[in-house]
Amino acid sequence: MIVEIRDCFGVGKIYYSKHARDEMENNESGEILDREVYEAVLSGKVIESYPDDFPYPSCLIYGRTRKGRHVHVVCAYSAVELIGIVITVYEPDPEKWSDFLRRK
């Protein structure tokens, strides 16, 4: 799924949910920008998969921005609409994540 999502980012076929936009704007360490989400997805890897999510299967991607910011992005892919969907975005709390990859 990450290949399809990256392809969607590459051609600008990405939809951000209202929840994702709210989380990006209200992040404790400062706003998370669209370009940072893009960088994190392109450099990242899937650390959790949610194949039973409705209406689309989704996954949690961990990546870093060019400036080294740690970012988690929950994305889905619509094979019917050929679009990537950003469900939420946040900076992982080191108190809750080991190496930003595994839940504590």
Domains and CATH numbers, the chain: 2-91 (3.30.2310)
Q: How confident is the model at residue 19 (pLDDT cuts 50, 70, 90)?
A: very high
The CA-based dihedral angle spanning residues 44, 28, 48, 76, taken in that order and rounded to the nearest 10 degrees: -80
Closest CA to 95 of 7, 28, 14, 2: 28
pLDDT at 102: 77
Crossing angle for the helix pair 2-11 and 34-43, to the nearest 10 degrees: 140
**What pLDDT does 35 receive?**
97
Q: Which of 10, 79, 74, 58 is nearest to 38 (CA)?
A: 10
pTM: 0.92
Chain segment 35-78, per-residue pLDDT in tens: 999 999 999 999 999 999 999 999 999 999 999 999 999 999 99
The percentage of residues in the chain with a pLDDT greater than 70, rounded to a whole number, is: 100
